[in-house]
Structure 1
Amino acid sequence: MQALVFLVDAVVSFFCTLFLLRFMMQAMRVSFAGQIGDFVVKLTNWAVKPLRQVIPGLGGFDWASLLAALALQLLLSALLVGISGQVISADAGTIALMAGWFAIRTLLRLAVYILIGALILQAVLSWINPYSPLSAPAHQLTRPLLDPIRRIVPAISGIDLSPLVAILLLQAVLMFL
């Protein structure tokens, strides 16, 4: 049973990451023209396209992608509660509220991990291959986070410490989540 839960969790986490990445890329105006954008769009269209007919994008955000990630996390929460088989001494509303909070908290943590991964990727690529096809999307994804930090923490001897500060701040956010 643990292997099944592990596999379901891995698949749900993979697709939630893709849905969140699609949401974040669209919100931060990252181009979908490259390999990463094409990969994300092709693997998420099965859920996002039908949802867009019901939920339009408003305010420059792709709400269908975010709803798809939330729906998957809610399904995982319900599955985990069902598989546990434990008698819960709470009413259905409380259980639904707990599952909803678990799903939202998990998506927030996943979004923070995506940003940390993009910051690390951007830093490594700046040393190894700044002209990599992954450099531009990573830069566009992290720019809204790094620009305010760069105003406070200037480059020292040509070394930009803002990604390090951003990662430390995001780690602190993870502690609260």
Structure 2
Amino acid sequence: MAGPFTEVALLLINTFVSLYVLIILLRFLLQMARADFYNPVTQFFVKATNPLLVPLRRIIPGLGGIDLSSLVLAWIIQTAGMAIIFTLLYGGQFPPFLYLLGWGVLAIIQTVLNIYLFSIIIIVILSWVAPQSYNPAVLMLNQLTGPLLSKIRKVMPDMGMLDLSPLIALLAIQVIEIFMRHLAASISLPSQLVLGL
């Protein structure tokens, strides 16, 4: 059983790694959604990630409008965090390298799914309680989820005033998460290593 100092270390590592990976992935997804980068919330993401991201972009260029350096940075930090936590949990033992790489990819995918899951839930709730909100965070969430929901609306029959696209998106995310959980179990991903999920 881990001592109190190890538990504190695990908590701090988990928190900081999860938050920073979340910020990097939000920046990546907002770029993909062509969101307004003059939004003060988005500006925070840019300023928080630039110190590591700008040097990495000199090594890893974008590909077809996709900011690969953001994805690679998120994966590196996620994987490093998982390696440190594994080492602390298992008495200095380093995890199998190939497993660690796969665990990092799964954690990144799961974090992206959670970003969309919680963003859509927040947008739906706000559409009931504050439909005309111009809060920068709300505008950012609308810009983030807009492209996904609009693609779903294009293939759905017209339901008049009733928009079921958020419900379809949430169901699709939950279906993917079920498969992700089974995949994580199949590659022996310890539950303690699942950062930000």
TM beyond 0.5: yes
For structure 1, the 5+ residue unaligned runs are none
Give the RMSD, CA atoms, in angstroms: 2.0
Query: Partner of 1:130 in structure 2?
Result: 132
Residue 151 of structure 2, aligned match among 138, 148, 153: 148
Superposition deviation, residue 41 in structure 1: 0.6
Would you say 1:120 and 2:121 are equivalent positions? yes
For structure 2, the 5+ residue unaligned runs are 1-5, 181-197
Residue 52 of structure 2, aligned match among 33, 42, 47: 47
Superposition deviation, residue 157 in structure 1: 5.1
> For 1:85 and 1:121, how far apart are their aligned partners in 2?
38
Query: Partner of 1:102 in structure 2?
Result: 103
> For 2:108 and 2:89, how far apart are their aligned partners in 1?
22
Residue 169 of structure 1, aligned match among 147, 172, 178: 172
Decide whether aligned partners of structure 1 residues 87 and 11 sit closer, same or farther in structure 2, where only a CA change above 3 A counts. Answer: closer
Whether contact under 8 Å (2:13, 2:85) holds in the other structure is: no
> For 1:35 and 1:96, how far apart are their aligned partners in 2?
39
Residue 69 of structure 1, aligned match among 42, 65, 74: 74
Superposition deviation, residue 87 in structure 1: 8.4
Residue 35 of structure 2, aligned match among 19, 30, 36: 30
> For 1:129 and 1:50, how far apart are their aligned partners in 2?
41
Residue 62 of structure 1 aligns to which amino acid in structure 2? Answer: D
Superposition deviation, residue 78 in structure 1: 1.5
Which gives a bigger RCO, structure 1 or 2 (Cα 8 Å, sep 6+)? 2
Q: Pairwise mapping of residues 76-87 of structure 1 onto structure 2 (< 5 A)?
A: 76-85=81-90
Superposition deviation, residue 165 in structure 1: 1.5
Superposition deviation, residue 168 in structure 1: 1.3
SS in 2 for 1:134: helix
Q: What do residues 30-63 of structure 1 show as CA deviations (whole Å, max 9, x unaligned)?
A: 1211022111111111111111111122211111
> For 1:19 and 1:98, how far apart are their aligned partners in 2?
23
Superposition deviation, residue 12 in structure 1: 0.1
> For 1:146 and 1:12, how far apart are their aligned partners in 2?
29
TM-score (norm 2): 0.79
TM-score (norm 1): 0.88
> For 1:44 and 1:82, how far apart are their aligned partners in 2?
26
Would you say 1:60 and 2:65 are equivalent positions? yes
> For 1:107 and 1:167, how far apart are their aligned partners in 2?
18
